């Protein structure tokens, strides 16, 4: 997962960023030596607390959804926000696979997927399925309806997220 990203046409800036990374510079220091660098906010949790890592990943997904530039950006953003607003899903570690929103009871690097997959479709609808490309659990007009269906499909007794690996 990217800790930094960015765009530049200046190869020297890329080299400065790579050198700072190689030398073990802190993320903020990399940003200072290479201003094109954008900090994603991922994994900036020094104590590796699973709850804080989960919050960090949600923050990154929400930020990323707000910055994407593709045809169904608004639909995808609505799905991420609706899932984040639901406490049962917000308590799980979020990740994406094949553009589907998924959930885990463990953090990276060893995810333990749980529950259904949620997808924002290019026609403005939302799918819920057992696989990233399936809609066998329903197709919905709103993100909130899809999220409600996903919550109904969660197994009972899920505990707090733990470190994955």
75 and 111 together in one domain: yes
* Parallel, antiparallel or unpaired: strands 138-140 and 126-129: antiparallel
CA–CA separation, 127 and 67 (whole Å): 22
pLDDT digits (tens, 9 = 90+) for 82-135: 999 999 999 999 999 878 999 999 998 899 999 999 999 989 999 999 988 889
148 and 71 together in one domain: yes
Task: Say if 102 falls within a structural domain.
Answer: yes
Q: What is the pLDDT of residue 84?
A: 98
pTM of the model: 0.78
| Three-state DSSP class for residue 41 | coil
pLDDT digits (tens, 9 = 90+) for 11-39: 999 999 899 889 988 878 888 888 888 77
134 and 71 together in one domain: yes
CA of residue 104 relative to chain centroid, distance = 11
Task: Say if 157 falls within a structural domain.
Answer: no
pLDDT digits (tens, 9 = 90+) for 45-92: 667 789 989 998 998 889 888 877 776 788 999 999 999 999 999 999
Pure H helices in 23-139: 27-33, 50-67, 73-85, 87-90
Task: Say if 163 falls within a structural domain.
Answer: no
Q: Which domain holds residue 33?
A: 4-39
Q: Show the tokens assigned to 11.
A: 């190869």
Q: Show the tokens assigned to 52.
A: 């804080």
């Amino acid at each position: 997962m990217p800790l930094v990203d960015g765009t530049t046409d200046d190869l020297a800036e890329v080299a400065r960023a790579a050198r700072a990374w190689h030398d073990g510079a802190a993320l903020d220091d990399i940003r200072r030596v290479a201003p094109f660098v954008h900090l994603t906010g991922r994994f900036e949790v020094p104590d590796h607390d699973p709850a804080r890592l989960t919050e960090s990943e949600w923050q990154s997904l929400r930020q990323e959804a707000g910055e994407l530039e593709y045809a169904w950006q608004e639909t995808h953003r609505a799905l991420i926000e609706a899932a984040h607003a639901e406490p049962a899903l917000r308590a799980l570690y979020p990740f994406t696979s094949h553009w589907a929103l998924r959930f885990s009871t463990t953090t990276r690097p060893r995810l333990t997927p749980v529950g259904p997959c949620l997808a924002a479709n290019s026609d403005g609808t939302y799918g819920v399925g057992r696989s990233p490309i399936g809609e066998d659990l329903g197709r919905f007009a709103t993100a909130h309806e899809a999220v409600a269906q996903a919550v109904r499909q969660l197994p009972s007794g899920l505990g707090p997220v733990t470190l994955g690996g």
